[in-house]
Amino acid sequence: MRRGASWTHAWGINARGDIVGDFRVPTDPPGVIHGFLVSKGALTRIDYPGVAMTHPRDISPTGDIVGGYMATPTSPWVGFLIDRHGAATEIRVPGAVSTSPFGINAQGDMVGEFRDTGGATHGFLRTAAGAFTQLDYPGATYTSSWKINTRGDVIGYYWDAGTPRVSHGFLYKDGVYSTVGYPGATHTMIHGLNSEGEICGMVSFSPLGSAIIWGGFSRTW
């Protein structure tokens, strides 16, 4: 936890051990949240210029940081890239109401989710050159992409159209979607991936239709 913070969330780590996340200082005005970077034991505060909330979510092996900001506590998310030199760039899916990047690889490709004007949530892939691809797991009502590795594999989770709805992890590899479910679980969400194929996320064994109680998991395929 950052000293003096009321809470601290660590969200991303790279192969060098650099960590990014966000924190809240109780003496700040309501709704103010800061990002942070921990590198070689030194902590640096990250504040996107002119906004109330800065939420870093991942850092690449070369030190590029992605996440989102909120201009005010009630504003929609806008994505950002802060490169290894400190230059900040907004990331917006064309036509989206909000854009939330969650992962970036060594090549600078990023993934995340966006909300459209109808309120639906979709995953996205943005190449380092700036080209966007919408990611929707077939038949899903909600798709969220969380991490991309150096091979270009994308993981995340989706909610199906069943009643009650069920969450599933997914892998998007070479243009093909595959469901990744924890054995015996009722719900699976994948949030982490590395280049060795190891994944991590959340899992629930709660009976369908009851309150969902989450636990963590890791897996290698």
Whole-number average pLDDT of the chain = 94
Residues 123 and 145 sit within 8 Å (Cβ to Cβ): yes
Residue 55 lies in a domain: yes
Local confidence band at 197 (pLDDT 50, 70, 90 cut-offs): confident
Residue 146: domain span: 106-221
Token reading at 156: 């995340």
19 located within any domain = yes
Select from 39, 58, 91 the last residue of a domain.
Answer: 91
Angle at alpha carbon of residue 37, lines to 36 and 40, rounded to 5° = 145
What distance in Å separates the CA atoms of residue 154 and residue 193, rounded to the nearest whole number?
A: 8
**Residue 139: strand pairing partners:** none
Query: Which distant-in-sequence residues (6+ apart) come within 8 Å of 77 by Cβ?
Result: 55, 68, 69, 70, 98, 99, 100
Q: What is the DSSP letter of 114?
A: E
User: Does residue 84 share a domain with residue 159?
Assistant: no
Structure confidence by residue, pLDDT tens digits, 46-89: 999 999 999 999 999 999 999 999 999 999 999 999 999 999 99
Let me know if residue 124 belongs to a domain: yes
pTM exceeds cut of 0.85? yes
